[in-house]
Each structure stands twice: as structure tokens, then as C-alpha cells.
Structure 1
């Protein structure tokens, strides 16, 4: 077993106790539901006030802080609007089917309240650092109010890890993948070029980061929304069926259709909640770090600003992405592609996606928790090839959760630097190719940003539609990496003081470049684990401070009625 496979298995093991555990979706949704009821549906009642605050209606120049409400919102949005909106939505549909989108919506609606709570408390207990800037986030209320510095330390460590696993590596990985697909630009060139730009921005700290964010975020959101609407209206006859597929399969799971083998209720819910959290980060506590820098005397005012994030990020942008993918039909079609080795599974026997019995057994095999109950087992043995095509049987190749078709096995000719078909025998052990240098191509489902890019070609713009995804992903993901560098360096300051910041930034930039050439599936798995490592301590913290939160909101409205809230 090679190192990549070992890392993947280790992350799968950890994820089994974290984001993929049965309790996690209920915990995240439950906390949001509790605060929604406890605070009287603030995501509905305070929405208008949030808009007025962002527009600067109550702002004062001498308010303590580093950035305006709009700049703080833009910075936080730049951290949340990223690959989760483009690649993450596609990943949720690929794994859980249309039903996963419903659970993304639920996570976002309740997450508006969760975000309101975590940002309010983080702003309330923020501190001024040695260089005169503000530092805040869940670690500060954990220490300053709860007297649980140990929990703050756990959160800060998880933030640093998550800055790489959520804000850094998946972002450049998806950028490089799409830039290669669209412009045939080598991944390493994309990685190095953007790493240099990243370094130039983050050295300037929060003020430069906020300045970049408030200029880029509105432009990139408008560009993406217009492009998405052009695809959706091109396929207007599928808009209502797309919503029907989302709603109709909520409690039954998504049915098999085309190359998609179906997903159970539990799997669709897990993936929808998990991807929703990755997209809007409500409950994770990350955006609270950016909002803590905002100017303002009343913590609840910045909390109200933050509840706009899940609304914009998930209920608008993610929904548009989902409708593009579902209305265009690309999610259930098999596409010609080069198979990622972590997406490939060789299974014993001849299986097909053309009959219901085989489909059910394959679905059970592909869902981790039902794998042992499936009749499908990994294949081990030899496969004879002639001009790249298999001439022996007794196995089925699954790629990207679908039965692969028109498969060819290639190798790189070191003299000509060209791919050539293999004639001979290759060996498979426990479902995986022993020779990892073999390049496998064929038709299968695709996922992540590649699926979204393909969907954007099914509209008025035709093949040119993929450029919207390429440019959108470049801007979305790059600004996400910028924002997350700030989250990470605030965590470093909390743990080590300012002396550790420059070391962190250097490592952050280097890993950004390296991640451009790392296997996609492994990077996404790292992100899934890292995000939950922040979320669990944060959810515990805000639950312990529920009375404090209610009092803070009451104080805001008392001051507002006196004309003293800003």
C-alpha cells in the first residue's frame, strides 16, 4: 500500500468519528434549531436590520475595530464562498444525489442563527493585540468568559490545521484542476503563480485582505450568478423537475438514475450537512475571526451582519450551482475522463448499472456503513490487455461511484513523452492497481469542480460556459485562501504570539503551491476531517454561553431604542 492510500485510509478512519459519524448532522442541525427557537428566529426577524447595518446606517468613525461592517462581511464571505460553492455542491450531488441539496438548505437556514451567535460572542470577547489590531474568535470567549483556556487551545490548533485542510489545499487543488481542464495549464504553474500572489496579499494583514475582499467579492458573485442563470434558463423545462428531485427524495434518499447508483436517506443527509458546513462554515467559528475585526461597540450588530453569510453563500450561490447541475442533467451522465486512482475500485464479478439488483448491491458497497452487507467484494488477480483494452473478464471497474465504460489502460512512453496503450498483463490487489503509474481512461461519472464546469457548457454559452467556472473558481478559491490565512495567523497569535506569524505564513504559502499537484480525493477528505475538528469545540462553547448570548441581544435592542447602538 502506497503512502497516498495510507493517508486516505487514515483520514477515512478519523472521518468515521467526526463528519461522517451518525451523531454529527443531528448535532449541527440541533444546535442551530435550539438557538433559532431560543432567540425567536433571528434569521427572519433581524434580516432587515442586518442589511441596514451593512450599508453603514449606524456606523461611527470612532468605533473600535479595524474594518467596516461591509469589509468584514466581504472578508468572511471570501472565506466561505469558494470551492464549496462550485466543487462542494457537485460533490454533494455526486455522493448523495439531489436530496443532499435539501439538507444543505436546512444547514444554511439554521446556520444563519448559529453564525449570528458565534460571531456575536467572538466580537464581544475580542482583544487588542501587540500591533494594535483586533483579535477575536471562539478561542477568546472560551478563555475570557468560560475560563476554559484548554478548549481555546484545542480550537486554535484545529483552526491552524483547518486553515490548510479547508482554506488552503482544496482551494488551489480545485483551481489547478479546472485551469488544467480549461486552458491545459500545468498544475504546478498554477500553484506557483498563485502562491506568489497569495504571499503579496497576506503580508499586508487584515486591512489589505479586507481591501482586496470588498473589491473582488461583489464582482465575482455577480459574474457567477449571471453565468449560472444563463444555464438554468437555457434548461428552463428542467427547473421544476430539479426542485421536485430535491424535495421528493428528502426522506427516502435519491433513486438511481443514469450512471448514478442512488443514495440512502442517511448518506444524502450526512453529505448534505457536511457539504453545507464546508460551504458556509456556520458552526465552525471561522468567520467569527474575521468579524471580530469589525468596527462597532455592540457585538450583536456584527452578529446580525454575519447571518447574511449563509443566506448569500448557500441559499443563493449554492442553490444556483445545484440547479445548473441538476437542470443540465450532467450529474447522472458518464463523461470521458482520466480516472483518479483513489476513485477507482476493481470488484470481483460482472456487475452492471442496467438492472435493479446489481444497482442495489453496488450502492451498498459504495456506502461505507453498508459495505459489509453487500455481495460485491474487491477483486484481486491479473487482467490481460491488448492495445489498452481488457481481453479477460471476471471483474468490474468502478470509477467515481459508477460502472466505468470504454476503459483503456495507458502508460507513458519516457522517450516520446506520449501515452501509449498497454499490451500485456496488469495486476490488481484488493481492488487497486499494483502499478500506480498506469493511466486509466474511460467514461464514468465525474465530480467536484469538473462536474460543475461540464454543467456550465450546457447553456447559452456552450463550451465557453466552462470559462465562467474557471474564472469564478479562480476568484472564489483564491480569496478563500486569503481569508483563511488570516484565520490561521490569529490562531497562531493566540497560541504563540506574533513571533510565530511569519513562520506560519511561509508554510501556508508553500503548502498552497504543493497542494496544486496532490490527489483531489485525499485533499477533500482532509478538509472534511479538519472542518469538524473546529466545529465540535465551538458548538460546545456557544451552548455553554446561551444565556450570555440572549442577554447580549437584549442589551443591543435596549441600546438601539436609546439611539446608542452601533
Structure 2
């Protein structure tokens, strides 16, 4: 068995290095940059519009928070369910891993990928609403596979995306999440990993068997609470070390462009590692470009594709530019992080690969029982991700095999939670990265070829709702 796992690990590392090479990283950034430039930096120039139509609308429009449609969920519920899938271990362990492997400079590249990723997410969600349809039970069905098939007319590429998505749901959405839960609870409370796996699997089963309505009803209450609690904890640490904040930002920007060699190796190695870890961890966290959360956004009762696109922008903003930044500043201001200890080397041997211990130590430096606080945060974050990704995998399986395959998929999903609780940390994370890359390729191709339709939708929306005489686009 150990020999088999070793072979799987070796093959996966080769695929991982190929998928997350310079070309793929440039592809991710390039798509977001393309939409950013073509919309003339919409995420900056129209920030009042997309904030006003999303999170601020929740305060003034009841219809945004609740829906009367039997087979739909509200816009706010779609956001919370999408954030349930994105706000997970990537925000705690993933950020710490990026810093440990790529240095503080990785955070700059995470920010950059999120800034451009806001527009990538905008495009995905807009296309998702435009091409969605209702299944035999009356529920909205949408996703990258739908706009790939209906928008591009390339069925085989849609099938390829769905296959990768179904497998990815067991990686990024399942094994990586439950492994972080079981390891953190074991380290902080000495709870046996297998026991954690069984209990979490039972809780997940009770929710996902009720379908999207039950999932969204749980996440709309769960996600805001857990996110605000974690942000509050992080701010306590940051404010306690407020004098270290300028130095933290200086290290982030300085290390992002530091030309250092690795053990006599290639000059510029530091930038390459920081870019790879920052962008890959950013994608792991906010999933912009994967096409995954399009599926739950498509279940919204919204009528205007561009509005749902704006919810996609806020999703990335909240996940990476807010929550991930809180984690990064907590680590870098706490004094726990030591560049000489955590910096990566050519062999890739980095301590605490799952990243959670580094984050836990940072919180514990200020907050009593800080490591326990982080362990519980991981439990909440990862549990919500397990719920969100179960829906993504469900939609992919339905697309491939029909409604009859949903229940068997859910049973397998719950069973893998138990297996993942006692699996290898590194293998779970690297499998997740590899599957993310394979899943992204069909989606990024579709976004490129359908970019004209996205621009036309935005142009039409602005013409109808923006009172300006001159054309914006």
C-alpha cells in the first residue's frame, strides 16, 4: 500500500508541476487581465455599483435575501453557498502554506490574482445565468459545462470539465478539507482523526441529502457568522501588533520581486516560487477561473446576468482580499513567522505543510487558547466547504449521468470524508492543486472564446441602468 501511495504521489507531483507551470499561471492571470482591461477596470471604476447591487442591497432589499420561488434560492443564499465552497482551509492553512513555501511575497501574487480574478468570476457568473436551464424537477441548472456546450457548442469539452469537476469535488472540496479538520482537532483537542471523520460525514450527510434548499438555508446562517468571528479574531492579533503592520506590507511587496537564488540555483527562483504559491493558493481559495461556483450562482432567482456577475466579484473580494489578507497579516505581524525557518528550498521540504500550525501559533501569541480558536475556525470553514462542493460535484455528475446518479454520488462523497480524515496531508493538497488545474483549462478556454458575449451583456446593462450620455465601453 505504501509503495502504491508513493507511486501515486510521484505521478501527481509531475502533473502538478506541469499544470501549475508558467503557462498555466499566465493563463489564469491573463484571462482576468483581459476582462479587466476590456471593462476599463470595472472592479475599481464601478465599485459603488457592484457593492450597491450585492452586499449593500441586502440591507435595503428583502427580495435579495429571501425568495418566494419554490425551486430557486435567493441572491444572498447563492453568495453564502458559494462562499461556503470558497471560504475554507485555503483561507487559513492555504495562506500559511503559501507564506511558508513562497515567502511573504506570495501574498502579493495572491492579491493580484484575486484582483484580476474578480473580473474572471464576473464573466463566469454572467454566462452561467445566461445559459442556465431547468431540469425535470424544475430546478435551475447551470455551470461552466452548460455555457461550454450551449455557448461554444463543444459537447466533449463540457463533458471533460464535468469529469474533472466531479473528481475535484473529492479533492479540493472533500479530502483537503476534512484532512485539515481532523489534523487540527487532533493537535488541539487530541480527538482521533477517524472519529472526526465519522462525525463530520454524518453531519454533512444530513444536510446534503436535503438538496440545494437545505444547503443554502444552512450556509446563509453559517457563513456570515463564521467569517465575522474569524475576522474579529484576526483583527485582535493585528491590532495588538499594529506597529508591525508597515513592516508586514513592506515584506509582502519586497519579497514579491526579490531576485534570490536557491542553493546556488537559478537567480529569480524566489519570484517564481512566490508567484506559483501565491497564485495557486489564491485560486484554491477563491476558485476564480475554475467555473465551480457558477453552479450555485445559477440556482439564484436573479433575472439579470450582470447582477449575478457582480455577486461573483464580491465573492472573490470577500474571500481573498478580506479573509485571506486577515490571515496573512496575522501571521506576519505576530512575530511567529521566521523567514529562515519557513523559506522553501529546491527540494521543497517545508515544515508544517498543511499551514494550520503556523496560523494557530500566530493567533495563540495574542489570544488565549488561540490554537483552539483556529482549530474551531478550520472546522467551521472546512465544513461549509464540504457542503458547497458536494453541490458542485452533484451538478457535474447529473450533467454526465442524469438525476439517477445523484444519490450514489452523495453516498460516495460522504464515504470519502471518512477516508480523507486519515489520509496524507501533502497528497490531499497536491491532488487538489492538480485537479484544480485540469478543471480550469476547459473553463478558461470557454471564457476566452465567449468574452465578446460577456462584454455585450455588460454594455447592454450599463446602457439600460447607467445614466450617462457617452458610452462606457
Cα RMSD after superposing both structures? 2.2
Measured in 2, the distance between the counterparts of 1:198 and 1:141 equals: 29
Q: Write the mapping of 1:191-210 to structure 2, written as runs, cut at 5 A.
A: 191-210=197-216
Given the two structures, how large is their TM-score scaled by the length of structure 2? 0.92
More displaced, 22-31 or 234-243?
234-243
Q: Which runs of 5+ in 1 are unaligned?
A: 257-261, 336-352, 354-358, 368-399, 402-443
Question: Which residue matches 1:457?
Answer: 364
Q: Write the mapping of 1:145-544 to structure 2, written as runs, cut at 5 A.
A: 145-252=151-258, 264-332=270-338, 363=345, 365-366=346-347, 400-401=349-350, 447-459=354-366, 461-462=367-368, 464-544=369-449
Question: Which residue matches 1:420?
Answer: none
1:34 correspondence with 2:34: yes
Deviations 1:503-553 (A, max 9, x none): 100000000111000010110000110111111111100110111111111
Given the two structures, how large is their TM-score scaled by the length of structure 1? 0.77
Displacement of 1:236 in angstroms is: 2.2
State the SS of the aligned residue for 1:366. coil
State the SS of the aligned residue for 1:167. helix
State the SS of the aligned residue for 2:421. helix
Greater helix share, structure number: 2
Larger Rg over CA atoms: 1
Greater strand share, structure number: 1
Q: Which runs of 5+ in 2 are unaligned?
A: 263-267, 468-473
Question: Which residue matches 1:560?
Answer: 465
Check 1:187–1:293 CA distance in 2 against 1; reply closer, same or farther (3 A cut). same
Runs of 4+ displaced beyond 4 Å:
56-65, 253-256, 444-447
Measured in 1, the distance between the counterparts of 2:352 and 2:409 equals: 38
Q: Write the mapping of 1:94-109 to structure 2, written as runs, cut at 5 A.
A: 94-109=100-115
Check 1:263–1:455 CA distance in 2 against 1; reply closer, same or farther (3 A cut). farther
1:112 correspondence with 2:118: yes
Question: Which residue matches 1:348?
Answer: none
Please tell me whether the aligned partners of residues 96 and 263 of structure 1 are also in contact (alpha carbons under 8 angstroms). no
Check 1:62–1:198 CA distance in 2 against 1; reply closer, same or farther (3 A cut). closer
Check 1:226–1:561 CA distance in 2 against 1; reply closer, same or farther (3 A cut). closer
Of 92, 96, 102, 1:90 maps to 96
Please tell me whether the aligned partners of residues 162 and 400 of structure 2 are also in contact (alpha carbons under 8 angstroms). yes
Measured in 1, the distance between the counterparts of 2:459 and 2:192 equals: 55
Displacement of 1:48 in angstroms is: 2.4
Measured in 2, the distance between the counterparts of 1:53 and 1:63 equals: 20
State the SS of the aligned residue for 2:364. coil
Question: Which residue matches 1:136?
Answer: 142
Please tell me whether the aligned partners of residues 64 and 296 of structure 1 are also in contact (alpha carbons under 8 angstroms). no
Please tell me whether the aligned partners of residues 28 and 283 of structure 1 are also in contact (alpha carbons under 8 angstroms). yes
Displacement of 1:30 in angstroms is: 0.8
Q: Write the mapping of 1:38-49 to structure 2, written as runs, cut at 5 A.
A: 38-49=38-49
Displacement of 1:263 in angstroms is: 5.9
1:8 correspondence with 2:9: yes
State the SS of the aligned residue for 1:330. coil
Length, aligned pairs only = 455
Displacement of 1:65 in angstroms is: 6.2
